[in-house]
Chains A and B, each alone.
Chain A
Amino acid sequence: MIKNIFLKTLLVLSIILTIGPILLVAIQSFSFRWVWPDLLPQRFGLRAWKAVFEDPSLLQALGNSMMITAAVVMLTMVISMPAARALAFEQFKGKTVIETILMLPLLIPLLFIVMGLHLTMIRFNLADTLAGVILVHLLPCVPYAIRILRTGYERVGTKWYEQAIVLGASRQKQFWTITVPMLMPSIRSAIVLTVVITLSQYALTAIIGGGIITTLPIIYYPYFNSADQPIIAAFTLLFAVLPILFWFVIELICRSVTTMIRQP
């Protein structure tokens, strides 16, 4: 009984501490006048959101961020899915070493790696380009994606694939009828995390993009110093909206392809 009350309190408390600050940001973004020490704004309005979506530099950054994110998500999935599958199902020589190397980007400072790559990127004409930025953004994303997808493959196991092979399904059909639907929870997590990681990179983008490729994080910092609270709040929320948007679009694509393949 006491334990139950304790658990419920802990649960409610952690939810408040998790969601509460975000709710405050949401309220702030819709506030019109909110002065200290009022606990809630006196008036609400859409001024901040309008200002965010009317700023041409922000719209350009949003466009760049969307392009980079879309490319990074696609490349990360294409690179990580086969690797995760091999690590989950196969035993081969040097597996432990390869596993360790694939997780190294979580250990070695990205800032250092990118500083080291800078001159070479200039030489290969990749500095100050979208391609260069996309390339370095893959580094923090791929290890997490491999990790999550590998757990997914391990959970599904090989039995479904064996059955599909017995029934004569092609590799492509196996992918859309087994891998995609069965691994959907892992794919979803991997995609959302990839989007968040890409949208979190300031230093990588600043160094390789050279200030020419502006993304949302690059212009977040000058906004942060502007001291117009509702606008910063709206901008902050925008970062959380994008991963959900990407997840939604990709879920839609995966679902429709799967249903198309299932119906002959």
Chain B
Amino acid sequence: MKLYKNKRILPYLQIAPAFLLIVGLLGYGVFNGILESLQVDFSWTVEAYQTLFGNSAFWTSLWYTLYITFVSTMIALLVGLCLTHFLYPYLVKDRWKAVIWVPMLFPHFAAGYLIVLLFSDSGWISGLLFQSGAISQLSDFPNLVNDTNGLGIIMTYVWKEIPFVVLMLLPVYVQMDERLKDVVLTLGGKKHDEFLTAQWPYLWPTIIEIAIILFAFIFAAFEVPYLLGVTFPQMTPVLAFDWFFDGNWDQRPVAFASMVVVTAIIVMLTIAVYSSTQKYRHRLMKGS
């Protein structure tokens, strides 16, 4: 009897520490954050949001952040998918897998330095172009790192996230039923049929998951744009961080309001993507 009872409770006990930690810190942090965005001098008001939405620098930064996030996520996903698709027979071997892990060892801001070393105007690529005669002086090299288009930030994220995408997709490729590809070929399907009908149904749920993780991360991350970003336009998290640490505490509610907006965008996007793909998910489950 005791054993039976323990068995029912055991999984909950095993999950409890992780659950309490996340609900406690995340739940409380979000709750308090929303509260602080709605309070100015201990009274309830939406003043912070009015200030925020009336601030043109915020709108510029929001669009800029969306653009950088979208471009980085898409490039990382596409390149990661192509690499995994074509190279997975190699990548499952330990020595190549070790190569994928190497960029994973570097923090994002360290990857930012790699990009600076390569692509800044006095960087290695610029030296290479000079040696090969493509440019005749240092100032001919385009400003790629500290530029208003955020190319340095995008390159950093792409270099850092491609290995992540590959590592997330590899298990899916390993588990895929190779015989399905043969079925497609015997039935007269072409190479792209093979990918679309035999592999894509297994791949897309993971691809969507990776896309959301990357989008949420890049959209709200602070480290890389703080290191490589220009003073204008700034990515929204950097703006929020600066407002938060501003000498007088007047800007704090605005800092919170801006992060509420960022969080809301991420959450709404995730819900939209998941609910619009839900029916296909069911079909997939029934089909297999």
Query: What is the interface of chain A, defined by CB distance below 8 A to chain B?
Result: 6-7, 10-11, 14-15, 17-19, 21-22, 24-25, 28, 36-39, 78-80, 82-83, 85-87, 90, 92, 98, 101-102, 104-117, 119-120, 135-136, 138-139, 142-143, 146, 151, 192-193, 196, 199-200, 202-203, 207, 217, 220-221, 224, 229, 232-233, 236, 239-240, 243-244
Minimum CB distance partner of B114 in chain A: A21
Partner of B131, one of A22, A39, A217: A39
Q: How far is the CA of A112 from the CA of B25 in the complex (A)?
A: 11
- What's the tally of chain B residues with a CB closer than 8 Å to chain A? 80
* A108 and B266 contact, CB distance less than 8 A: yes
Query: What is the interface of chain B, defined by CB distance below 8 A to chain A?
Result: 8, 10-15, 17-19, 21-23, 25-26, 28-34, 36, 83, 86-87, 90, 96, 99-110, 113-115, 117-118, 122, 124, 126-128, 130-131, 138, 159, 163, 171, 212-213, 216-217, 219-223, 226-227, 237, 240-241, 244, 255-256, 259-260, 262-263, 266-267, 270
A10 CB to closest chain B CB, in angstroms?
6
Q: How far is the CA of A90 from the CA of B87 in the complex (A)?
A: 35
Known contacts: A203-B241, A221-B227, A233-B113. The answer to whether A108 contacts B23 by CB under 8 A is: no
* A196 and B241 contact, CB distance less than 8 A: no
* B108 and A11 contact, CB distance less than 8 A: no
Partner of A202, one of B12, B22, B86, B222: B222
B254 CB to closest chain A CB, in angstroms?
12
A-B contact count (CB 8 A): 232
* B29 and A82 contact, CB distance less than 8 A: no
Which of A105, A111, A146, A224 counts the most chain B CB atoms within 10 A? A111
Partner of A92, one of B11, B36, B267: B11
Q: B13 — which chain A residues lie within 8 A by C-beta?
A: 82
* A82 and B15 contact, CB distance less than 8 A: yes
A145 CB to closest chain B CB, in angstroms?
9
B227 CB to closest chain A CB, in angstroms?
6
A19 CB to closest chain B CB, in angstroms?
6
Q: A217 — which chain B residues lie within 8 A by C-beta?
A: 107, 109, 223
B27 CB to closest chain A CB, in angstroms?
9
**5 A–B contacts, CB within 8 A, in A order:** A21-B117, A24-B117, A104-B26, A112-B33, A116-B31
* A192 and B163 contact, CB distance less than 8 A: no
Which of A11, A19, A120 counts the most chain B CB atoms within 10 A? A11
Partner of B30, one of A78, A116, A239: A116
Q: B25 — which chain A residues lie within 8 A by C-beta?
A: 113, 117, 135-136, 138-139
Q: How far is the CA of A108 from the CA of B220 in the complex (A)?
A: 8
Q: B11 — which chain A residues lie within 8 A by C-beta?
A: 86, 90, 92
* A37 and B126 contact, CB distance less than 8 A: yes
B120 CB to closest chain A CB, in angstroms?
10
* A106 and B216 contact, CB distance less than 8 A: yes
